[in-house]
C-alpha cells in the first residue's frame, strides 16, 4: 500500500517556556493514539518545538485504511421470515443495525441452525482526511495551564495562531485551524520579522531552511547546541557553569537559535550570600552563574541570546543593566536585615496569618518549638541537642518577615536566608543549617536534612502543618491537596526512616493535637483521620522501598507506630520470602488459620485433654518458641525469628499428619482449636503470614 509523509507546523505568538514540553508530549500522544485507533501504520513521528511553533513530521504513513469485509449473522430463518416469506420485524431491525438492505441477505449454516447473514465491504478511509478531521480536536485537547481568546475565534487556545504550514509529501495539505488556512510557508526567527516568508517546497528541506533563518526546530538539537556553547565558554573563561538542568530546559524553550554570551556584574555584589546572586541570575533572568575552581562564585555569567548575533555587545549591555537594579535591591535588603539579630524578626510573625482558624505564624512557631522538644524527649536526646533543636525551631520562620523575603523578591530562598542570617549573628552552626534544612524534603526526590537538629525541626514543622490543616477541616481528597499535606507527611516518614528514629509517631500526633486544642476550642478534631493519613504514608514509604504489597499487609496489622521497626521487619520478611522452607511455613500457617477461622473461643488449653504425642510436642514447643520469639523481638532480630518459625514448622506439620482436629468429642476438638489459636497468636506477634501470597 502507498505510504505518504506529512509535515505540519502551527505557528503562534510566543508560548510560555513552561508549557512547551507538556504540550508537545500531549500532541505526540494524541497523534499516536489516533493512528492506532484508526489502524494506520507509520514508520516514525518526529516532533519539533520552539517558543513560536509546534510541529511534527510523520514518515511512512499508510495512505488509507485497509478495506474490510464484515460479516454479520442475524436471527434464525424461522425468526427472520413469517409464513408468507416476508421479513419479520426482528430481521428488519437486524438489517437497519447493519445498515444493509434485503439484497444483501444470504443464508448461513451455523451450529445453532440456519440464520440470515450479510456481508459488507467497508472501504478504508483516506489517512489525510482522518488526520484533517481529528487534528483540530487533538490541538484543542492539549492541556495548557492557561489559554486565551483573541479576535472572534471559537475556542480559547494557548496563544494567537499566526500561520500553518502543512504538507502532504511535497504538496500543500489543505487544512485550517482557528480560521487560519494552511500553506507551504513558515517564518524564521522573530528578529527577521513576519514579512520574510520561507517557502518549504519539500519536507526534507524543513529543518535546513529554518536553520538558515536562525531557527533550530529540533528541541534536542537546540539543547545540545546550548550545552556545547556553554562548555566552550567555560574553557575560555576557566570557570564552571553551576549545573541547573531546569534552567537549561527553560532556556531551550525560550529561544529558537542560541548564542551564548558572557557578561558580568560589579564584584561588590559578591559580598552577598551566593544563592541570592544565583537566584537573581537563574530564576529571575534565566542566566547561567559561574564559579571558579574552588567553587567561589564569579562576577561573570552567561546568557543565551535569541536575537541577531551582530548585536551581541548591545544585548550584553542591556542584560547587565537589568541585573544591576535587582542586585541593588538584594544588597539593600541584606544590609537592612542584618542590622538586627535573626530573633528580632520572630515577634513580627504575630502579624502574619498561617491559617485563619489556626492563627499566626508566631503561634505556629511556638508549637514547632514545643514539638521539637517533645521529639527530643522521645528520642532521649542530650540537653545540648534539645537546646539546639528548640533554638532552631524558634528561629526557623523568622526570615519570612525579613525584607529579603517580605518584599517577595526572593521567596524561594526561605530557610536559606534564615540560615545565613543566623550565621551572621553567631548562632550555633548546626542551628543555622537546621533553619534551612527544616523545609526539606521539598519534593518526592528531594534531599533530606543532614543534621540531627534539621531533622527534628523538619518533623516538628511538617507534623504541625498536617495536624493543623486537618483540625481546620481542610482534608485532602483525590488530587485536591492545596496545602501539600501528602508531601509534608511523606517528608516526616522519610526523615524518620533515614535517621532510624525510634519513637511512636502517634504520640507525636497526640501531642500536636494537645497544642492545637486550646486554639480550636474543640478537642482532637479529625485526629483519627490524621492517624489513617499517616498509615497510608507509611504504606507509601514501604512500597517506595521495594517491598511487596502482601508483605506490607502482613506486617502492618501489628503496629504502625514505630516506622523504623516496621520497615526493618518488612525488609527482612521481603528477603526471606523467596526461601522455599518459608513458603512451606506460609502454607502451614494458612492451614492453621483456615481451620480456626470461625472459632470464637480463647486459647486456654486443658493439658489433660491432650491425647496424642504430636499435640503434646506441639504444646510444649509453643512455650519454648514463645520465649525465643519474645527475646528476638526485643532485639529486632527478625531473620532469627523466621529461622525459628521455619524450624518449628515440621512440628506443626506432624500435628496435622498424626492428629485429627475435628473429632466428635467436643471438648477435645475445642481444645485442639485453642492449641491452633495459640500458634496463630504467636505467629501474629511477628507477621500475619496469611497475607503472604
pTM score, whole prediction: 0.81
* Residue 415, number of CB atoms within 10 A of its CB: 22
pLDDT of 321 > 90? The answer is yes
Among residues 102, 130, 132, 105, which one has the least CA distance to residue 8?
A: 132
Task: Give the closest residue to 381 by CA, choosing from 441, 459, 309, 436.
Answer: 459
In the chain, % of residues over pLDDT 90: 72
> Nearest-CA neighbor of 21 among 250, 320, 361?
250
What's the confidence (pLDDT) of residue 80?
Answer: 85
**CATH code that applies to domain 569-691:** 1.10.730
**Alpha carbon of 650 to those of 585, 589, 654, 674: distances in Å?**
9, 12, 6, 19
pLDDT of residue 86: 86
C-alpha cell of 534? 499517616
Mean pLDDT computed over 142-161: 90
- The mean per-residue pLDDT over the stretch 230-250 comes to 95
Q: What is the DSSP letter of 148?
A: B
Cα–Cα distance measured from residue 58 to residue 69, given in angstroms and rounded to the nearest whole number = 28
Which of 46-60, 98-112, 563-577 tops mean pLDDT?
46-60
Q: Is the pLDDT of residue 193 over 90?
A: no
DSSP one-letter code for 503: S
Distance, CA of 459 to CA of 451 (rounded, Å): 12
pLDDT of residue 150: 87
- pLDDT of 127 > 90? The answer is yes
Per-residue pLDDT at 613: 92
* Cα 686 from chain centre: 33
pLDDT band at 332 (very low <50, low <70, confident <90, very high): very high
Measured CA to CA, the distance from residue 451 to residue 443 in angstroms comes to 19
For 640, counting Cβ atoms within 10 Å of its Cβ (0-12 exposed, 13-18 middle, 19+ buried), the class is middle
- Note the pLDDT tens digit of each residue in 554-583: 999 878 999 999 999 999 999 888 888 888
d(CA 426, CA 428): 6
Answer whether 504's CB lies under 8 Å from 561's CB.
Answer: yes
Evaluate if residue 443 carries a pLDDT over 80.
no
Is pLDDT of 446 > 90?
no
Confidence of residue 73 (pLDDT cuts 50, 70, 90): confident
- Dist CA 155 CA 139 (whole Å): 11
Instruction: Grade residue 33 by pLDDT with cuts at 50, 70 and 90.
Output: very high
Right CATH for 342-544 from 3.40.50, 1.10.8, 3.40.1400, 1.10.3210: 1.10.3210
* Every domain of the chain and the residues it spans: 3-64+126-212, 68-122, 219-325, 342-544, 569-691
Q: Residue 14: how many CB atoms within 10 A of its CB? A: 12
The predicted-structure confidence for 472-507, as pLDDT tens digits, reads as follows 999 998 778 889 999 999 999 999 999 999 999 999
Residues 449-475 have a mean pLDDT of: 96
389: nearest Cα among 400, 380, 376:
376
Q: Which residue is associated with the grid cell 556553554?
A: 230
Q: Under a CB-based contact definition with an 8 Å cutoff, are residues 44 and 80 in contact?
A: no
pLDDT tens-digit map of 515-563: 999 888 778 899 999 999 999 999 999 999 999 999 999 999 878 999 9
Sign for the CA dihedral angle at 304, 310, 313, 314 comes to negative
Instruction: Kindly state the percentage of the chain with pLDDT values over 70.
Output: 100
Question: What pLDDT is stored for residue 293 in this prediction?
Answer: 92
Strands (E), 151-190: 161-168, 171-172, 176-177, 180-181, 185-187
> Cα(40)–Cα(68) distance, rounded to whole angstroms?
14
Burial of 71 (0-12, 13-18, 19+ CB in 10 A): exposed
Q: Which CATH superfamily is domain 3-64+126-212 in?
A: ACT domain (3.30.70.260)
Number of residues that this document lists for the chain:
693
pLDDT tens digits, 406-421: 877 788 899 999 999 9
Strands (E), 195-283: 197-199, 240-241, 259-264
Confidence at residue 301, expressed as pLDDT on a 0 to 100 scale = 96
Amino acid at each position: 500500500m502507498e505510504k505518504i509523509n506529512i509535515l505540519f507546523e502551527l505557528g503562534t505568538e510566543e508560548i510560555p517556556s513552561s508549557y512547551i514540553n507538556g504540550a508537545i508530549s500531549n500532541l505526540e500522544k494524541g497523534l499516536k493514539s489516533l493512528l492506532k485507533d484508526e489502524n494506520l501504520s507509520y514508520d516514525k513521528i518526529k516532533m519539533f518545538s520552539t517558543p513560536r511553533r509546534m510541529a511534527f513530521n510523520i514518515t511512512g504513513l499508510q495512505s488509507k485504511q485497509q478495506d474490510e469485509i464484515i460479516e454479520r449473522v442475524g436471527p434464525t430463518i424461522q425468526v427472520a421470515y413469517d409464513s408468507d416469506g416476508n421479513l419479520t420485524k426482528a430481521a428488519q431491525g437486524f438489517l437497519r443495525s447493519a445498515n444493509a438492505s434485503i439484497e444483501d441477505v444470504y443464508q448461513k449454516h451455523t451450529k445453532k441452525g440456519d440464520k440470515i447473514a450479510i456481508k459488507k465491504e467497508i472501504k478504508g478511509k483516506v489517512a489525510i482526511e482522518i488526520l484533517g478531521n481529528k487534528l483540530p480536536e487533538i490541538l484543542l485537547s492539549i492541556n495548557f495551564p492557561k489559554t486565551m481568546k483573541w479576535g472572534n475565534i471559537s475556542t480559547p487556545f494557548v496563544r494567537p495562531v499566526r500561520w500553518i504550514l502543512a504538507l502532504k509529501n511535497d504538496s500543500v495539505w489543505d487544512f485550517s485551524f482557528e480560521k487560519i488556512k494552511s500553506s507551504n510557508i513558515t517564518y524564521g526567527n522573530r528578529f527577521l520579522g513576519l514579512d520574510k516568508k520561507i517557502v518549504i517546497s519539500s519536507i526534507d528541506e524543513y529543518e535546513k531552511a529554518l536553520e538558515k533563518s536562525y531557527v533550530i526546530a529540533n528541541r534536542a538539537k537546540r539543547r545540545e547546541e546550548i550545552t556545547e556553547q556553554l562548555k566552550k565558554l567555560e574553557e575560555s573563561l576557566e570557570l564552571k557553569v553551576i549545573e541547573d538542568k531546569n534552567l537549561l530546559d527553560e532556556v531551550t524553550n525560550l529561544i529558537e537559535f542560541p548564542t551564548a554570551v558572557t557578561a558580568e556584574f560589579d564584584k561588590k555584589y559578591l559580598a552577598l550570600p551566593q544563592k541570592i546572586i544565583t537566584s537573581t541570575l537563574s530564576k529571575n533572568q534565566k542566566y547561567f552563574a559561574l564559579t571558579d575552581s574552588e567553587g567561589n562564585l564569579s562576577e561573570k555569567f552567561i546568557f543565551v541570546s535569541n536575537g541577531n548575533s551582530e548585536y551581541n555587545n548591545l544585548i550584553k549591555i542591556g542584560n547587565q543593566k537589568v541585573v544591576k537594579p535587582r542586585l541593588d535591591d538584594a544588597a539593600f535588603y541584606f544590609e537592612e536585615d542584618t542590622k538586627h539579630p535573626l530573633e528580632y524578626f520572630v515577634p513580627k510573625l504575630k502579624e502574619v496569618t498561617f491559617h485563619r482558624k489556626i492563627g499566626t505564624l508566631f503561634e505556629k512557631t511556638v508549637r514547632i518549638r514545643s514539638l521539637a522538644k517533645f521529639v527530643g524527649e522521645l528520642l532521649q536526646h542530650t540537653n545540648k541537642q534539645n537546646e539546639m533543636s528548640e533554638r532552631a525551631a524558634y528561629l526557623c520562620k523568622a526570615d519570612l518577615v525579613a525584607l529579603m523575603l517580605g518584599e517577595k523578591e526572593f521567596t524561594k530562598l526561605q530557610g536559606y536566608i534564615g540560615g545565613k542570617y543566623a550565621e551572621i549573628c553567631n548562632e550555633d552552626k548546626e542551628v543555622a543549617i537546621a533553619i534551612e534544612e527544616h523545609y526539606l524534603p521539598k519534593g518526592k526526590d528531594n534531599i533530606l536534612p543532614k543534621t540531627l537538629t534539621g531533622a527534628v525541626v523538619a518533623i516538628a514543622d511538617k507534623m504541625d502543618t498536617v495536624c493543623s490543616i486537618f483540625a481546620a477541616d481542610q482534608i485532602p481528597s483525590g488530587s485536591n491537596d492545596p496545602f501539600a499535606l501528602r508531601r509534608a507527611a511523606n517528608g516526616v516518614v522519610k526523615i524518620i526512616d533515614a535517621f532510624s528514629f525510634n519513637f511512636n509517631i502517634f504520640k507525636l500526633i497526640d501531642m500536636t493535637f494537645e497544642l492545637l486544642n486550646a486554639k480550636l476550642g474543640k478537642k482532637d478534631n479529625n485526629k483519627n483521620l490524621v492517624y489513617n493519613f499517616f498509615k497510608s504514608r507509611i504504606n507509601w514509604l514501604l512500597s517506595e522501598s521495594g517491598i511487596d504489597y502482601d508483605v506490607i499487609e502482613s506486617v502492618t496489622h501489628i503496629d504502625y507506630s514505630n516506622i523504623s521497626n516496621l520497615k526493618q521487619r518488612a525488609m527482612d520478611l521481603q528477603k526471606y520470602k523467596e526461601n522455599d522452607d518459608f513458603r512451606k511455613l506460609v502454607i502451614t500457617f494458612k492451614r492453621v488459620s483456615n481451620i480456626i477461622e470461625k472459632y470464637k473461643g480463647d486459647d486456654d488449653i486443658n493439658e489433660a485433654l491432650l491425647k496424642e504425642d504430636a499435640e503434646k510436642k506441639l504444646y510444649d514447643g509453643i512455650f519454648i518458641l514463645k520465649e525465643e520469639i519474645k527475646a528476638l523481638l526485643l532485639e529486632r532480630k527478625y531473620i532469627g525469628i523466621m529461622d525459628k518459625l521455619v524450624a518449628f514448622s515440621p512440628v506443626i506439620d506432624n500435628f496435622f499428619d498424626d492428629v485429627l482436629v475435628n473429632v466428635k468429642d467436643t471438648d477435645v476438638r475445642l481444645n485442639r482449636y485453642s492449641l491452633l489459636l495459640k500458634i496463630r497468636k504467636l505467629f501474629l506477634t511477628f507477621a500475619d503470614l496469611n497475607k503472604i501470597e
